[in-house]
Structure formats: structure tokens, C-alpha cells
Amino acid sequence: MALEKLGKALSDALRKLARSSSVDKALIREVVRDIQRALIQSDVNVRMVLQLTRRIQERALNEKPPAGVSVKEHVIKIVYEELTEFLGREAKPLEIKEKPTVLLTVGIQGSGKTTTIAKLARYLQKRGYKVGVVCTDTWRPGAYHQLRQLLDGYGIEVFGDPEEKDAVKLAREGVAHFREKGVDVIIVDTAGRHKEEKGLIEEMRQISDVIKPHEVILVIDGTIGQQAYNQALAFKEATPIGSIIVTKLDGSAKGGGALSAVAATGAPIKFIGTGERIDDIEPFDPKRFVSRLLGMGDIQGLLEKFEELQKESEIKEEDMEKFLRGKFNLKDMYAQLESMSKMGPLKQILQMIPGLGYSLPDDAIRVGEERLKLYRVIMDSMTEEELENPSIINYSRVRRIARGSGTSVKDVKELLNQYNQMKKMFKGMDKRKLAKMARKFNIGGFGI
Ligand SMILES: Nc1nc2c(ncn2[C@@H]2O[C@H](COP(=O)(O)OP(=O)(O)OP(=O)(O)O)[C@@H](O)[C@H]2O)c(=O)[nH]1
Ligand SMILES: [Mg+2]
């Protein structure tokens, strides 16, 4: 399959990134050139390729990766995002809202209409819809039989009359017939006698006027590559209820060109055809499509990681600020431990800062609910002076505090130990690391 070739060229380019020991400008430029070459070979419009890769390059060179993400991963993510955007970003699924939903299918000669209708009818039947198909092709002698051959085996009824010469009449009667039968979806096939958009759109108008379809589907042959742009654009301008199915993406060297050209018109691509068999149809989802093109396994893990980080960083900036600004007497520590217990393990946040995570003592940060309660009790037995300035707490004070709070010497020592570790941790951070952290979390006020 030719799309596989494009996929391979793109994932080879990304693999170059993944394998390199460090990512510099020269490498980014090289990868961008590889991507350009791959897309142009797939017949993507050169101007569009240049726009796309300029954006990729600009972002790759200028955007800072979020904390916890390597430059490589970040660049791979950018490529994924931009390609997804390039193909329309969001999936636009076919909606069956009304019963019956009437779909009119048009397309120039041999684009794959009839085959695609059979695929779509079967696709919808598998999802529980009762489907009827109307053949209005009065042009090609075998059209009605072609449909029946494709669908009889699945018990999907085809309405048509090989003798009838009036396509509009067939459309009207066919839709009326299936309305009466109470099907959920009616799909209308049209003749493929047109070689150009003009005649095609005229026929679409005539039949539309009579059957008032919920959606008109243009079937485009993917092997025409970027030429699909003009067809899709003419169609989009002719009907506000149009969507597109791109066929023959298997085996076509120009599939990337066709898909990107259609996406560029803003017309929604709802399905793609990937073979001659009835099951060779799939809903088009740019994200899934690009993931698969680039090698699903690799990119999926990466995307999940980004999502996780996104969630984490949402809560933490503010808490981080509180934490970092602490003066570090016992009261502050308590307040911070308390807020940290709410916001989740601090270590995870700090680990997002390169070069810091590994140096954190585990138990300096892991404080459960119970411990917090215990600390509260202990601190209630301390004097104001002790809370403000813990260094004055000698052994006899420790014993007094333990007795007063009904805890043990060991507990009090644990609390002080915790305090000292945290203090040390912050002392241990040099100014550079602190500044880095401040930047990562948009925290100012360090005077650095
Ligand atoms: N490989 C491949 N072949 C396809 C695909 N879709 C359709 N075809 C083939 O394309 C040819 C034309 O398909 P039709 O469905 O008859 O096209 P049509 O638009 O109805 O043709 P007319 O009604 O004559 O305009 C047939 O040989 C199909 O098997 C596809 O996704 N992949
Ligand atoms: Mg046909």
C-alpha cells in the first residue's frame, strides 16, 4: 500500500531524531527536508508542503519543550500535531440523526461511487441501521446489477429499474419506496457519466431538489492526488451539506496529495476507501490516521505522556509558588506539607525539572495524612519561639514536647528530621536550578 510508503518515509525521518544523541538546528533542518521530500513524493502540493514544513521548523526551533519532555519528543509531537492539522485535525463522523436519513452520492466517472455505497451500506448495517440503496444510474447498463451483486448477499435492498431512463424519477420513487418501508438510512447512487465537475454538480442539483438529501457525499478517486483540490472546492461551494469520501488509497502513490488537497478546501472527509472489498472502508480521523502513518505504537505512548504532563502542570504552578516561597520555619513547613498532601506527590512535580528529580530524598516529601495529623499534634505542644526557629529545639525540649503532646521522642525527632531535610533540599538547589524551576512554572520573585 502506497500510503505505507509515505508512512515509512515520515517515520524514518522521525526515527533519525529519536536515534540522535542530541538535537540541534542542523538535524531539525535535515528532518524537515526529509518530511518535505516524503510529502512531495506523495503528490502533496509543493506550496502546501513548504507552508507546513516552515511551521514545523519554526516551532521545532523556537518552542521550549514542557518540563519532563526531551527536545526529541517535543519535535516529534510537533510533527504529529502539524500533520494532523494538515489533514483537518478533528474527525467529522457521519451522523444519522433523522429517520430516514437520506444520503446522495455523487462523483465523476469511475471514482468508486457504487463500490463505496455498497461499503457504506454494509458499514451502517453492521452498526444496526436498516439501509436501502437507490440506483439512479441510467447511464451504465450494468449499474443496477452491480449494486445488487454487491448487496444481495447482505440482505440490503436495492431499488432500481434498468429500463427506466429518467434518473430524477428513479430518485424520487426510490426514496419514497424506502420511506414507506421505514428504513433508517437511504443511500442514492448516481450515474458516473461526468468527467468534470460542472456536469456533475448540475446533476447533483437536479436530484437534490427532488429528494432533499440530509447530506451529499462526493466520492473522489484518491489516485488523482492533488487534483482533488479543484473537485472538492467546486463541490464545497455548490453545497453546504457536502462531505467527501476519498477512495483507492490503497495502492495509490498520490494518496497523501489527495487527502491533504481535500482537507485544504475545508470540506469534511468522512471516510476513506482502502480496497476493493466491501469491508475496505474506514471512518477518517486525522489523529488516528497520522498516528498510524507515523507508527502507532511509538507516537501513542508519547501522546499519552504529554496528556499526563498537561494534567499535572495544570494544578501545580500555584502550589509550587507557595512551596518555593516558604521561609521554612516549622509552621511554613506544615502548611506546605498540608497543601502538598492535597496536590499529590511533590516528587513527581520536581522530577519534571531536568537534573533535579534524581537528587531528591524520598522521605523528605512523602507525608501521608496520618503523619500530618501527628505533626499537627506535636506542633501544638511547641512554643511560638520553637515554631519560628526550630534550631533551638534541644533534647530536653524534645522530651518536653513529646510528653506534652502524648507522642514519643521518636515522633518529635521524625518531625524535626523532616524539617531539616526539606530545608537542606532547598539549600541544595543552586540558583540556576531555582531559576530554571521558576521559569518552568512561570514563577517570579526569586530575584535572579
Ligand atoms: N483498489 C481499490 N479499488 C476501488 C476502491 N473503490 C473502488 N474501487 C474500484 O474502482 C472501480 C470503479 O468503481 P465503481 O464503484 O464502479 O465506480 P463508480 O464511480 O460507481 O463508477 P461509474 O458509476 O461508472 O462512474 C472498480 O473496479 C472498483 O473495484 C478502493 O477503495 N480501492
Ligand atoms: Mg457507479
Q: Which ligand is nearest to the CA of 113?
A: 1
Over residues 245-278, the pLDDT tens digits come to 999 999 888 999 999 999 999 999 999 999 999 9
Same domain for 151 and 191, yes or no, is yes
The pLDDT of residue 310 is 64
Higher pLDDT among residues 15 and 147, named by residue? 147
C-alpha 15/C-alpha 326 separation (Å) is 44
With a cut of 60, say whether residue 217 has pLDDT above it: yes
Q: Looking at the domain assignment, is residue 302 inside a domain?
A: no
User: Confidence class of residue 189 from pLDDT cuts 50, 70 and 90?
Assistant: very high
Per the model's pLDDT, the better-predicted residue between 144 and 316 turns out to be 144
From 233, 265, 284, the end of a domain falls on 284
pTM of the model: 0.71
Q: What is the distance in A from the centroid of ligand 2 to the CA of 105?
A: 10
Least confident span in 46-60, 286-300, 330-344: 330-344
pLDDT at 359 over 70: no
pLDDT band at 355 (very low <50, low <70, confident <90, very high): very low
Is the CB of 274 inside a 6 Å radius of any atom of ligand 1?
yes
SS3 398: helix
pLDDT of 340 above 60: no
- Identify the band that residue 349 occupies on the pLDDT scale cut at 50, 70 and 90: very low
Question: How is the chain split among helix, strand and coil, in percent rounded to 5?
Answer: 60, 10, 30
Overall domain count for the chain: 3
Does 82 share its domain with 141? no
The number of CA neighbours under 13 Å toward the Cβ of 167 is: 23
Q: Are residues 276 and 321 in the same domain?
A: no
Confidence of residue 92 (pLDDT cuts 50, 70, 90): very high
Q: Give the percent of the chain with pLDDT over 70.
A: 81
232 in the same domain as 107:
yes
Atom of ligand 1 nearest to the CA of 140: 24
Say if residues 228 and 219 touch (Cβ distance below 8 Å): no
- 369 shares its domain with 234: no
pLDDT at 361 over 60: no
d(CA 231, CA 196): 8
The residue whose CA is least distant from atom 14 of ligand 1 is: 112
Give 410: exposed, middle or buried? Use CB within 10 Å, 0-12, 13-18, 19+.
exposed
381: helix, strand or coil: coil
Most confident of 224-228, 291-295, 370-374: 224-228
Asked if residue 122 and residue 267 are part of one domain, the reply reads yes
37-41, 46-50, 209-213, 327-331, range with the lowest pLDDT: 327-331
- Give the residue from 59, 108, 49 showing the smallest Cα distance to 79: 59
**Percent of residues, the chain, with pLDDT higher than 90:** 55
Q: Is residue 26 part of a domain?
A: yes
- Specify the range with the lowest mean pLDDT, choosing from 112-116, 153-157, 212-216, 342-346: 342-346
Return the minimum-mean-pLDDT range out of 57-66, 198-207, 375-384, 408-417. Answer: 198-207
364 lies in the same domain as 272: no
Whether the CB of 275 sits within 6 Å of ligand 1: yes
With beta carbons less than 8 A apart as the criterion, state whether 228 and 254 touch.
Answer: no
Distance, CA 264 to ligand 2 centroid (Å)?
27
276 with 353, same domain: the answer is no
- Domain end residue (candidates: 40, 62, 86): 86
Helix (H, G, I), strand (E, B) or coil at 132: strand
The CATH number of residue 365's host domain is 1.10.260.30
Candidates 234, 268, 249; CA nearest to 42 is 249
Mean pLDDT across the chain: 83
Tell which of 54, 86, 118 closes a domain.
86
For the CA of 276, the nearest ligand = 1
CB 144 within 8 A of CB 196: no
pLDDT confidence bin for 295, thresholds 50/70/90: confident
93 prior amide bond cis, ω within 30 = no
* Ligand 1 mutation target, pool 108, 111, 113, 115, most atoms within 8 A of CB: 115
| Dihedral Cα 88, 73, 1, 247, nearest 10 deg | -10
Q: Calculate mean pLDDT across residues 402-410.
A: 94
CATH of the domain at 255: 3.40.50.300
Answer yes or no: is 248 within a domain: yes
DSSP strands (E only) in 4-149 = 101-106, 131-135
Atom of ligand 1 nearest to the CA of 146: 16
Residues 415, 417, 422, 427, Cα dihedral to 10°: 140
* 235 in any annotated domain: yes
Q: For residue 448, is it within any domain?
A: no
pLDDT of residue 427: 59
Over residues 41-71, the pLDDT tens digits come to 999 999 999 999 999 999 999 998 887 788 8
Residue type (1 letter), 361:
P
The residue segments making up the domain with residue 68 are 2-86
122 lines ligand 1 (CB under 6 A): no
Query: Do residues 369 and 341 make contact, with C-beta atoms less than 8 angstroms apart?
Result: yes
Q: How far is CA 398 from CA 328, 387, 407, 410, 424, in A?
A: 19, 13, 10, 9, 21
- Which CATH number fits the domain that encloses residue 30? 1.20.120.140
Question: Does residue 111's CB lie within 6 angstroms of at least one atom of ligand 1?
Answer: yes
What whole-number distance in Å separates Cα of residue 171 and Cα of residue 186? 11
Please tell me whether residues 240 and 164 are part of one structural domain: yes
Looking at the fold, whether 255 and 148 belong to one and the same domain comes out as yes
Note whether 110 and 48 are same-domain residues: no
Confidence band of 336 (pLDDT split at 50, 70, 90): low
Q: Return the pLDDT at 171.
A: 96
**Residue 240 is assigned to a structural domain of this protein:** yes
Cell of 275: 480496497
**pLDDT given for residue 73 in this prediction:** 85
Instruction: Write down the pLDDT at residue 23.
Output: 85
The answer to whether residue 339 sits within a structural domain is: yes
Please list, in sequence order, all residues whose beta carbon lies within 8 angstroms of the beta carbon of residue 197, skipping any fewer than 6 positions away.
Answer: 108, 230, 231, 234, 235
Based on the fold, state whether residues 69 and 105 are members of the same structural domain: no
Contact 250 CB / ligand 1 (< 6 Å): yes
Asked if the structure places residue 323 within a domain, the reply is yes
Ligand 1 lined by 247 (C-beta under 6 Å): yes
- Rounded to the nearest angstrom, the distance between the alpha carbon of 262 and the centre of ligand 1 is 19
- Say whether pLDDT at 311 is over 80: no
